[in-house]
Amino acid sequence: MPRFDPTRALRPALRDMVPYTPVEPPAEMAARYGVAPESVVKLDANENPYGASPRALDAIRNVEAHRYPDPDQRRVRAALAARHNVPEACIVAGAGSDELIDLLFRTYVEPGDRIVICSPTFGMYAFDAGLLGAEVVDVPLREDWSIDGDALVAATVGAKAVFIPTPNNPTGGLLSHELATRLIETGALLVVDEAYIEFSHGESLAARAASGDPFVVLRTFSKWAGLAGLRVGYGVMPEPVATTLMQVKQPYGVSVAAEAAVLASLEDTAALDERALTIVAERDRMADALRAMEWLEPAPSEANFILVRMDRGDASDVREALRRRGVFVRTFDHPRLRQHLRISAGTPADTDRVIAALREVGEELMTDSMTGNEAAR
Ligand SMILES: Cc1ncc(COP(=O)(O)O)c(C=O)c1O
């Protein structure tokens, strides 16, 4: 009998797959860089520096961990329906909005289908496209990181789906409602990813997605509600789409702890909104301080992070210099982001630390360039 050959058995789409680059656990990084874990300033994953709402933390203490969660997500869908003033039948929750993205791909995208993105953007869309053997068509953002609307509409005609985060990660800009309408009219599935909408001036399209226009809005509890570790997100969409996704999804994607935390968070929205305002204020204070350093140029952001262009040094060297100081920020492999850092907005103390660390690193780079000490970089 021939033995199973895992290489030959691999689906063709997975043979040259580029893995997703997730963030590493902070304790690992702290150990690697020789910094005390409690002194780490973690600004690399756009998490909420204030954590979950105290009510959510309290709620997860008493969950029935030995029971399976409700596969129909009744209580979660009802609470979300009330929040958005839409029918429950238009909502599907999952283990993070990542699960909803995966679900949309598995439901609608076949090998060879085209899906459209505007890079630089969130990496999960291209990752999932790769898993399914779909073709990714990129309509790059313009020089100022705005969307090239006409080019995007043209590329979307004949595609299966188009994925646009608003605010975009990592650039922080918004999708206009007018462009969303044009994209819906192309006949492709428009997925508007509102993971960071609570930090922006942008108005959510969630209610409209439930009113019949064929598109999907994704939301998450990872950012605004500080529940990234519990993994819970959801989509608002036309009822027929939701009905299908409810059939296709894994039955128990939203754990009992996630369910309890969602319900408690939705009873604590005023406190969570207040925290979001504090985070936005810190984002703006950080942007002003960075702009005052002549080697840094922060892009305007509507999210809880800032994309910063550096006139000096290379992003990975600066990231390493910051890590040695216990400050963790994100860099990217994208060719247009070699000179950029993405820094999440943190607490006031976090902002002070990252500003101080960047001042030191900027001075080091200046000294190195004056003395021609390239190796030190
Ligand atoms: C634009 C965007 N969408 C979705 C996600 C995934 O969020 P979740 O934690 O809900 O899976 C992220 C995470 O960083 C994101 O940046």
Pocket test for ligand 1, best of 222, 231, 306 (most atoms within 8 A of CB): 222
Running DSSP on this structure, what letter comes out for residue 329? Answer: E
Q: Whose CA is nearest to atom 8 of ligand 1?
A: 96
What per-residue confidence (pLDDT) applies to 372?
65
Ligand 1 nearest-atom number relative to CA 97: 10
Distance 376 CA to ligand 1 centre (A): 36
Q: What sections of the chain are H helices per DSSP?
A: 6-9, 26-33, 54-60, 74-84, 96-108, 124-132, 149-156, 177-184, 206-209, 239-248, 256-266, 269-291, 315-324, 348-371
Instruction: With CA atoms as reference, report the closest residue to 258 among 57, 50, 79, 49.
Output: 57
134 Cβ contact partners less than 8 Å away, ≥ 6 residues apart: 105, 109, 110, 111, 112, 113, 114, 115, 160
Tokens of 371: 């003395």
Q: Return d(Cα 325, Cα 251) in angstroms, integer.
A: 44
Pocket residues: Cβ below 6 A from ligand 1? 46, 96-98, 122, 165, 169, 193, 195, 220, 222, 228, 233
**φ, ψ (nearest 5 deg) of residue 163:** -115, 115
What per-residue confidence (pLDDT) applies to 373?
62
Instruction: With CA atoms as reference, report the closest residue to 218 among 114, 120, 125.
Output: 125
What per-residue confidence (pLDDT) applies to 190?
98
Looking at domain 54-267, its CATH architecture is 3-Layer(aba) Sandwich (3.40)
Say what the pTM is: 0.96
Instruction: With CA atoms as reference, report the closest residue to 332 among 8, 12, 11, 20.
Output: 20
- Going residue by residue through the chain (377 aa), what tens digit of pLDDT does each one get? 899 999 999 999 999 888 888 888 999 999 999 999 999 999 999 999 999 999 999 999 999 999 999 999 999 999 999 999 999 999 999 999 999 999 999 999 999 999 999 999 999 999 999 999 999 999 999 999 999 999 999 999 999 999 999 999 999 999 999 999 999 999 999 999 999 999 999 999 999 999 989 999 999 999 999 999 999 999 999 999 999 999 999 999 999 999 999 999 999 999 999 999 999 999 999 999 999 999 999 999 999 999 999 998 899 999 999 999 999 999 999 999 999 999 999 999 999 999 999 999 999 988 887 676 654 44
Distance 20 CA to ligand 1 centre (A): 13
Distance 223 CA to ligand 1 centre (A): 8
Domain boundaries, the chain: 23-50+270-368, 54-267
Q: Return d(Cα 357, Cα 40) in angstroms, integer.
A: 12
23-50+270-368 maps to CATH 3.90.1150.10: yes
Distance 370 CA to ligand 1 centre (A): 41
